Amino acid sequence: MRRRRFNQTLAKGIGGATLISAMPLSCAMGSQQKNKLGIALVGLGSYSTYQLAPALQQSEYCYLAGVVTGTPAKENIWAKKYNIPQKNIYNYQNFDTIANNEDIDVVYVVLPNSMHAEFSIRAARAGKHVICEKPMALNVAECDEIIQACKEAGVKLGMGYRLHSEPYTQQIKTFVQENTFGNPLFVNAEAAYISRGNPDQWRLDIKRSGGGALMNMGVYSIQSAIYGCGMNPVSVSAQEFSTRPEYFKETDETITAQFEFPNGTVGQIMTSHNASANRLYVSCSRGWMELQPANSYGPLKGNTSKGPVSFPHESQQKLQMDDFSKHILKGAPNLAPGEMGKRDMIIVEAIYASIASGGKKQNLNLGSLGLV
Ligand code: NAD
């Protein structure tokens, strides 16, 4: 457990920030009257730059209204490229004054994992709806703090789980709901890539990442296993493997885990920063279904015992941000609420606990978090 992340608390981040306690002037409540919501991206790294900002150029119910960055050099570049007015550009210090900015309805937190809780909570307290990237936070306690802050502020909270808005994934969920191939008997979900980059990157730093492959790609395999059989697991046992300890000094390299589901369905997941895998396979009593790839930016590919499935490709990020905006604007369902992020973090903690105990089975009590 020496290198795990259970010790980091919110106290430092939150205590160190200037928080506003009064109800903000531009409470995001007013956003229901708009046709399109203004989104501010917090953290202008690769996901914001190459996926979210371009997707916001295509979205129908939201647009890129502002940015929050700790790198002054990015301010002008983004302002010019996306025509963002100076008043909608913030840094990490003056971020809380976003409360007074009526252009911004939603704050999208796209920072290293250790900063998700602090910035999600500051956004909620500024009266803004929140999208939080995966993994939701460093631990379950932080997830609870985010959920509580959003409840208290009366703002909506969504996870950056783009696949819930993605048509192949939605088709799998429908097949499961409609029992198209019979009862799921076995589900296998793999999400992995080979990391060879800068050894100083935050994903390899336990303080900023909270964990390795499991906190990064592992969240996809947990998610896939759950929607692949349409149930939350009741227990998990896990194993960790290390072949490049000189590179993965602090964070997990490869993890496998086995789930038991309530009706006897068995699940197997694999996640790694030292192998390539991208697949969901569900064996059912009257057939099978498969996505491969299952979790990349698309197009995904689907096959079943009745033949292939096919959908036109659209940006997953566009679909995801539009779905969350429709939730706010039109009361459409929140496809990936904060409770789902918390559910996954409970499973992540149980997997790490199983590994720390030499692979012992950990019981999961996810009853009230019945979101698939
Ligand atoms: P990145 O390293 O490319 O960007 C991180 C950003 O945070 C940079 O702009 C950096 O300047 C800023 N930052 C602020 N403080 C920092 C610090 N102390 N250390 C390092 N960077 C700091 O990362 P990314 O790939 O954009 O990932 C950001 C978040 O988005 C992560 O939580 C990640 O899991 C998530 N993500 C989600 C998806 C998805 O498909 N949903 C895809 C990629 C990343």
For residues 233 and 33, what is the distance between their CA atoms, to the nearest angstrom? 40
Q: What range does the domain containing 258 cover?
A: 163-363
Q: Which of 295, 321, 322, 299 is nearest to 312 (CA)?
A: 299
For residues 260 and 265, what is the distance between their CA atoms, to the nearest angstrom? 6
Q: Are residues 20 and 119 in the same domain?
A: yes
Ligand 1 atom, smallest distance to 92 CA: 14
Q: Are residues 209 and 264 in the same domain?
A: yes
Element (H, E) at 161: none
Which of 8, 44, 47, 321 to mutate for ligand 1's pocket (most ligand atoms within 8 Å of CB)? 47
Pure H helices in the chain? 10-16, 46-47, 53-56, 72-82, 116-125, 140-153, 167-177, 206-209, 213-216, 218-229, 316-330, 338-356
For residues 108 and 120, what is the distance between their CA atoms, to the nearest angstrom? 8
Q: In this model, does residue 74 exceed pLDDT 80?
A: yes
199 and 247 in contact (C-beta within 8 Å)?
Answer: yes
Q: 95-123, pLDDT tens digit by residue? A: 999 999 999 999 999 999 999 999 999 99
Q: Are residues 271 and 352 in the same domain?
A: yes
- pLDDT-based confidence at 7, cuts 50/70/90? very low
Q: Which of 352, 143, 337 is nearest to 251 (CA)?
A: 352
Q: Are residues 205 and 295 in the same domain?
A: yes
Residue 112 Cβ < 6 Å to ligand 1 = yes
Tell the residue nearest (CA) to atom 17 of ligand 1. 112
Model-level pTM?
Answer: 0.93
Q: Are residues 95 and 176 in the same domain?
A: no
Work out the average pLDDT over 73-90.
98
Give the pLDDT of residue 15: 34
Domain's final residue, options 127, 160, 193 = 160
Give the pLDDT of residue 348: 98
Give the pLDDT of residue 103: 98
- Residue pointed to by tokens 């900015």: 101
Element (H, E) at 162: none
Q: Are residues 12 and 149 in the same domain?
A: yes
Q: In this model, does residue 340 exceed pLDDT 80?
A: yes
CATH number at residue 269: 3.30.360.10
Residue 70 Cβ < 6 Å to ligand 1 = yes
236 and 229 in contact (C-beta within 8 Å)?
Answer: no
Q: Which of 48, 51, 146, 155 is nearest to 104 (CA)?
A: 155
Q: Which residues contact 37 (CB under 8 A, 6 or more apart)?
A: 31, 61, 62, 63, 105, 106, 129, 325, 328, 329
Total tally of structural domains belonging to the chain: 2
Residue 142 Cβ < 6 Å to ligand 1 = no
Tell the residue nearest (CA) to atom 10 of ligand 1. 45
Give the pLDDT of residue 368: 64
Domain's final residue, options 160, 181, 203 = 160
Which of 111, 198, 215 to mutate for ligand 1's pocket (most ligand atoms within 8 Å of CB)? 111
Three-state secondary-structure class, residue 302: strand
Is residue 371 situated within a structural domain? no
Domain's final residue, options 143, 160, 177 = 160
Work out the average pLDDT over 328-335.
97
CATH number at residue 116: 3.40.50.720
Handedness of CA 65, 68, 74, 75 (dihedral sign): positive
